A and B are shown apart, each in its own frame.
Chain A
Amino acid sequence: MTLPRNIDFDSLRPEEFEHILPDLFASGDGKVSQDPRLKKFLAANPDCAALVSDLEVIAETARSLFEPVAEPSDRVWQNIQAKLQEESALASIDDDYIDPSKPLD
């Protein structure tokens, strides 16, 4: 799905607008409300303008969710440590292993 070329933004119908909206959001910086090509259309179609405004608010607020808000329980680090120690112990057994089928130097 890409934005079709030769769109006449001034004679756009709301259904056509809805169809191309995902691409309009994906192109540029995602600020559809400030797209000069849509100024006239949005002014003439307040429902579409309201939709765009709401979706922009959602996308904007979503960016604030990036900061982490939750912390894992202590159990997670304890399990990680236990696994790493287990693996390290196994590795040292491997290092010390002498293959009985091979002659000693």
Chain B
Amino acid sequence: MSSQGQLMSQAPPARSNPGLFKRNPPIAGEAEAIEAAKRGDADAFARLYNLHKRRVYTLCLRMLGNVSAAEDMTQNAFLHLFRKIESFRGESAFSTWLHRLTVNLVLMQLRKKGLNLVSLEETINPEDDAPRRDFGSRDPVLAGSVDRVALERAVAALPPGYRMVFVLHDVEGYEHNEIATMLDCSTGNSKSQLHKARLKLRELLRNPNQLPQSPLPSGPEESAK
């Protein structure tokens, strides 16, 4: 099977994550644009791109942590989408389908680059980066709230394996069994990686002043500049 075939065959079937459906409500004008795009309408492609470019790009940026790589991946994702749009049958929300396609492309790229997503523990969880296993201070360190910008920066500072599972589960809303399928690992591994990612984030958030700058803008206002 070609890589394109694999990508599309992994797009979510009817049993999509209900959480993602909830977070991906239909967008006005989207259905018409999809049908027109299937007929090769160039304006419809542009409409779909404008509707979804920010979400696809933000996902790529968060997973890859690099503006240039994220732009290349966004381009790649939309090219795949436009070439294969006739295979979208509306069994899941279009944005869910597009999201899954993008995630699969990112994972393919990371595998090509030699990031072994199968044995996450050994390959992308170097001991130096492992969160400390102590419980920390007695009082809640985060005092009931986390600054969104600080969390974004802390996520960007995570080792790739932790970041991947954290973004897929806690940000994008995928279930552990879906992540296990995507990363070709066990659900136990996914749960364990997520837990370690959260522990590491807790550790990083204790010293927010030492966090590196995130490649993501701090909010919609900044991104609009």
Which residues of A approach B to under 8 Å, CB–CB? 1-2, 14, 18, 21-23, 25-26, 46-48, 50-51, 53-55, 57-59, 61-73, 75-77, 79-80, 83-84, 87
Contact = CB atoms under 8 A, between A and B. Distances in A.
Interface stretch (B5-13, B27-35, B106-114, B142-150): B142-150
A80 to B, nearest CB: 5
A65 B148 contact: yes
By secondary structure, the A interface counts as helix
Given A69-B216, A75-B71, A58 B57 contact: no
Interface stretch (B86-94, B122-130, B171-179): B171-179
Interface string B149-167: 0011001000000000010
User: Which A-B residue pairs are the 3 nearest by beta carbons?
Assistant: A1-B188, A62-B170, A68-B54
B136 A58 contact: no
Contacts of B194: 22, 25-26
A67 B195 CA distance: 23
B135 A69 contact: no
Nearest to A21: B195
By secondary structure, the B interface counts as helix
Interface residues of B, number: 64
Interface of B: 23, 42, 45-46, 49, 53-55, 57-59, 61-62, 70-71, 74-75, 78-79, 82-83, 133, 135-142, 144-146, 148, 151-152, 155, 166, 170-173, 176, 186-189, 191-192, 194-195, 198-199, 201-202, 205, 216-220, 222-224
Contact of A59 (B176, B192, B198): B198
B217 A70 contact: yes
Most buried by B among A25, A48, A76: A76
Contacts of B217: 69-70
Contacts of A84: 42, 45, 79, 82
Contacts of A59: 170, 198
Given A59-B198, A80-B49, A70 B57 contact: yes
B170 A68 contact: no
